[in-house]
Structure 1
Amino acid sequence: MTEEQAKELLQKYLDQQANPKEEKKVEEWYATLQAKDVLVSAEQKAAIGEQMLLELKAAMYQNTKHNKVLKLRTFYKIAAAVLVMVTLGLTVWKMSDLAKPAGDQLTAITGATERKRIILSDGSVVFLGPSAKLSYPKVFATNSRQVALREGEAFFDIAHQENRPFTVHTTTGVDIKVLGTSFKVKSYRASKQLEIAVVTGKVAVSNKKGKLATLVRNDSLTYDKNEGIAAIHRIKAPAFIKFAFDGASLNQVIAKLQYVYSIKIQLNDSALGNLKTTASFNSRQSPEEILDIICSLHHLKFNGSKNHKTFNIHR
């Protein structure tokens, strides 16, 4: 049930138009809220009280207008429904914040029709889909980068850092470890499966029992939560990303290309690694096409192996 549907049901309850089954549903929600001991500030309590009073006065006026007696049970039903509705509103309001600090941790949450772009402290970018929840540190540790996808779907475009691996933890116990790449993770609690799709680079997927698979560009993995079994497929309609270099050294460009395409690029002269490059590319382009452009910029040449996995740049 969506947030809008929930609100409609609560409004029906307030208007006394809900059927017995719907009434029971609302009352169960109210009981659940009481059991959870929802923490509300004094300011919010005052707002709830004021809203409840307005709703109750309106309800009493309606009943008086129609010469009906407002029974005690109806009074409590309306009060319960108002509290549920206002609490739901407060919950949604709290969840609408872009990031909520918890110590040195931040949590980003999206609504049912919302998407967000999160920039992490290392320059990595995360695109959150609707109904998603991501926890991440305000500043990453010196030797590792770890985030947790608590719910929903997210696309990760990870900044390459050789000595600081990036790990995405999920609630299913499946972890995705990378150095620099882009991939999508779909992990909903209500779904029986977790899905991972690699757009560029390479990722290692594991659970508590050990390594499940190594995925490369255009690989997709589905993980059965109940059986603990993973299956790998090729992506039928691969996604593409853009990546740009603004005065980056040739060594930096090579490092990025190696992770984007899971290839090996060698320089026959280490001095070439200091050459500066400014250019934009798209992962739709082949490694050969990009290397041809880069070599043209620096008046260099390159050759590749038959399997298109190893390349050598030279003068």
Structure 2
Amino acid sequence: MTEEQAKELLQKYLNQQASPHEQKKVEEWYASLNREDAPLVASKKAAIGEQMLANLKAAMYKKPKYGKVLKLQTFILAAAAILLIIGSALVIWKLQAPVQSSANLVTVNTKAAEHKRITLPDGSVVFLGPAAKLSYPKVFASNSRQLVLSEGEAFFDVAHQEKRAFTVHTADGINIKVLGTSFKVKSYRASKQLEVAVVTGKVAVSMKHKNLATLVKNEFLTYNKSDGKAAIGKTNPVAVVAIAFEGATLDQVIKKLEYLYNIKILLGDAALGKLKSTATFNSGQSPEEILDIICSLHHIRFNGSKNHKTFKIYR
């Protein structure tokens, strides 16, 4: 029995359209799970989702064990919960993303010594490390971009979209949320630590709706799975990524640089915001260097504060 067939059978049961024989199969399978009534911890659902599907497949071929049948109302609630956690697409839904059918879900695995470069539907790029597993929808939702890194290490170069947050969920229940930035996540189930390192922009790291840290350029976080403690530190750049502008207005350039470098840029004249630029830089360059080149192209000037956090562009 395929995963889709298993889902269809559960859905038929919930809609009270299953035959007596199909009802008995589902009820016997559920009874064999010996699960507790308490809901599963969200962080564990991704890890056991595949195992539950395997249990379902195996139970469908077992000989019936006649005994006390669960009450329909109780089982409908339980079966609904089970239906929601079978498959990676439904795990993503439970992590507050729109529901995606398995047909619309892409899962990428790498071997022990393999690396892969993946271009996502929004133009973001992921560099997947060895022995890793990443799942994402073929088409992102209109209001969010949700992915699951269930194993391994990945570097994300995220396309900036202010109205669609980009969130990476891990099997340990850690969520990494950004709008458009570059960062690395290292999350192996066998390791006691999870790591997040930021190359550009700002990254919010949370667990169970609790904010662990907000990281900026060249900061990293380590999370200890055993005691639940997080530590933040400074790091050398873990990668260099391109910062490209194709016919972008100065207003657009400023907005992107402010986000990527966590700085503030002011215009001495609002009309300057309409000036357009086409150029490619990289995250290894300082904001002063980038502003110097852009201003030179338009024969304008800029100056910066002593702490290099605020800049002003003027004629």
1:185 Cα deviation after fit: 0.1
The range that moved more, 260-269 or 286-295, is 260-269
Partner of 2:260: 260
Do the aligned partners of 2:199 and 2:237 also contact (CA within 8 Å) in 1? no
TM-superposed deviation, 1:233: 1.4
1:168 aligned onto 2:168: yes
Structure 1 unmatched runs, 5+: 1-32, 40-100
1:110 aligns with 2:90: no
Residues 83-131 of structure 1, C-alpha deviations (whole Å, 9 max, x = no match): xxxxxxxxxxxxxxxxxx8232211111111111111111111110111
Secondary structure, aligned partner of 1:272? helix
Give me the whole-angstrom Cα distance separating, in 2, the residues matched to 1:254 and 1:209: 31
Return the letter of the residue paired with 2:295: C
**1:37 Cα deviation after fit:** 7.9
Higher deviation after alignment, 303-312 or 181-190 = 303-312
Deviation, 1:258, is 1.4
Shift of 1:252: 2.1
Flag the 1:164–1:36 CA change in 2: closer, same or farther, 3 A.
closer
Q: TM-score, normalised by structure 1?
A: 0.66
Report the AA paired with residue 122 of structure 2: D
- 1:1-315 counterparts in 2 under 5 A? 102-208=102-208, 210-236=210-236, 238-315=238-315
Where does the alignment leave 5 or more consecutive residues of structure 2 unmatched? Answer: 1-50, 58-100
Report the alpha carbon displacement of residue 38 of structure 1 after superposing the two structures with TM: 11
Could you list the per-position Cα deviations for residues 199-234 of structure 1 after superposition, in whole angstroms to 9, with x for gaps in the alignment? 111111110150001111111111011211101111
For residue 106 of structure 1, what is the amino acid of its counterpart? V
Matched AA of 1:174:
I
- C-alpha distance in 1 between matches for 2:161 and 2:267: 20
Three-state SS of the structure 1 residue aligned to 2:257 is: helix
Q: Percent identity?
A: 68
Count of aligned residue pairs for this structure pair: 221
Alpha-carbon offset, residue 249 of structure 1: 1.9
Distance of aligned partners of 1:137 and 1:113 in 2 relative to their CA distance in 1, 3 Å threshold:
same
Q: Would the aligned equivalents of 2:116 and 2:129 in 1 still touch at CA under 8 Å?
A: yes
Structure 2-normalised TM-score? 0.66
CA 1:247 to 1:303, structure 2 compared with 1: closer, same or farther past 3 Å? same
